Each structure stands twice: as C-alpha cells, then as structure tokens.
Structure 1
C-alpha cells in the first residue's frame, strides 16, 4: 500500500497574558489592514468574556482566549503560495505589538486515508506498536494513540498520532490516521524591538517547519506502507 500524506491545516498560536479582545473586531482588523476589506465571515462571530472566534472564507480562522491567540487555515494540500494565515499573524503583531508574548507554536496537521477503520487501527497497533497480549483486554477493541516529542536545534517538535474519521466532500466518513505537529518555541525576554523581531522570524519560518513535519512523517512513519 502506497500511502500519501495529505496536509490538513496550519495553525500559529501565540501565548501572552491578557489578550486584548477589542483588537479582534472585524472593522478594526480591516481598518488596520490585517485582513483584506473583501473578506467575509462564514457565520456569525462569537464574542464572549473568555473567547473570540472569527471564521472567514478561504478556511481562515482567528480564535482568541484570554491567554492565547490562534491564526489557522484549512489547507487540504493547496499551493503553498495560497497559505495566508501566517501573513495575517504577522500583520497582527505588527499593528498590535505586545512585548509579553511567551511562546509561539507552529502547528501543521495531516492525515493518511485507509480503506477501513480496521486497517487504520492496525496501522497504529501493529506498525507503530509492538504486538502483545496487552492489546486484548476488556469488552471492546483497544484504542491507541501516540504522543512523541523531538528536541530540535531550537524548540521542540511534539507529534500526536491518532485514529479518526474525516468527513469527505461527498459527505462520507473516511477512516484516517491523523498526525498533529506542534513546533513549540519559548520567547526569551528581550527589549521590545528584539522581541518582536524574534517573534516575526519564528512565524516567517513556518514553511521550514512544515517541510520538517512532512519529512518526519513521510520518512519515519510511512516508508513501509
């Protein structure tokens, strides 16, 4: 079986204390040139005391909580030149610089399709895990997931592997194995100008992160399929 990994989503997450929700007003985002004037929401925005959620056309979302803000885009293997979530994140920190950013996470995710749930389950329990009597216990089939961590030159790459189902455009549930990457970087306290430069460079490096993620999954997890 020759399995091909499909990129699902890219998300950029910034953590900081006391995210200012007022900066996430639609008019403010457009007036500040963070998002284009012609962008439209796919549904009514959500504003609460603890969260803001904005979901736009093109599969782009901005979600903020009191201590973090996320810029995400559903990719579905689109041309890298069409990936715009990182540019939205860069424009946001340029217009609303904040010295207290604590961490940055670049989170790519992908999946591989299987013919059946049984095959997807077997991939995790037999290809990635060693067979043993511990597989059989209780009244139902064991569920398995992996959480791995890789130390890089800077930061850590966390990788989660889970079995699941994906709703296809034909409204069918496809058996998949899901790979969730998380490149996590600590932001060292610096003067504001250096701090923002560091944050900017980490976001601009998203494509290298994506390539590293693809290399890891393709070469270390899919070579024998």
Structure 2
C-alpha cells in the first residue's frame, strides 16, 4: 500500500468509557479549526461493514465462536479500510475511528481464548496498517459497564458478558499501551468530560504539528 498523506487516529477503551463521545468532540474541535475530518467507527464505517456490525453486535452472547468473530471483524475492517479510511487519508484528511484492530486484539484475541497471534496474523495479511495515534480512554470497569448498560440499546452483546470481561479488557488495553508506546496515549476517563476532551485535544494537536 502507498503511504497515506493524512493522519489516522483511533479511540479505544472498554464499553462505557466515553470514547465515542470524545471521538465526536474531537472531530467537532478539529473541524472548527478548519481541518477536514472523517469520523468513522468499527465495526462499520462502510456499507458492507455496517451489515457485518449488525451480525456481531446483536443477539445472544454465544452466537459466534471467537474464531468466527475474528474473521467477521477482519472482513468488516478490510472493507472499511478500502472504501473509507485509505481514500480519506490519501486526500489528506484526519480520520478519527471509534475502535480499530486493538479492539479485536482484546475482545476476540484475549477475552475468549488465547487467540491474539491469530488476530495479528490476519491483520498482517489483510489490513497491514496501524493507526498513527491511538487514544486509550481509561475507565473504571464497573463505572463503564454501568454506563454502557444504561444506554439500553440493541448492541449490547459484549456488555452482556458481564463485569469480569470489562476488568480483563481494561487490563488488556493498558498492556497494549505498554506494548505500543510509540502510538498509544492513555487518558484518564474518570474525570469530567470537558477535562478529558481538553487533554485529548492537546495530544492530537501536538501530533498534527
């Protein structure tokens, strides 16, 4: 693949961490500065990937095996990359993505078996790109789960795995931040939203200089 011209940044964190809200706020902030921004999400972000989103986020918690989920998420990510992310980067835009491969490394590669190597293998074969910058919104697992369940939406399949999964995912995301220190920035999400948003904007603006 050619090297894209724009900036590709992702938001990660456990369910209910506030990362989606912060991704939207960052997009608004950068657009107000005159930057061309694409705000997207995973799974999803392209028509085909949105169809897969419905398959993996709705229904019984045991609907799919971890291996099947990895294949579904990778397929969705490939379509998203081809149709949304790479064209925007080639046009010099800032792409803000709510979740990317790090979530698959955690939710499928760690939570339901020791499948991290499989996730990375498929990622290398079919995606071949990491974000330029990843914002990890760190949140107390019990608080995050309470927030997530309070949304009362239809996409609660992973929240239904319960608090133990959230604790495991938080530890896993922090371990990823230690593994990929060149691109991860950990932000304390337990504070008020305005303070969190200011800290994130500061990190991103520095990366854009």
For this structure pair, what is the TM-score category when the shorter chain's length is used for normalisation? under 0.3
Give the alignment's TM-score, normalised by structure 2.
Answer: 0.28
* TM-score, length-scaled by structure 1: 0.26
Larger Rg over CA atoms: 1
Select the structure that is richer in helix.
Answer: 2
Q: Which fold has the larger relative contact order, with Cα–Cα distance below 8 Å and residues 6 or more apart in sequence?
A: 2
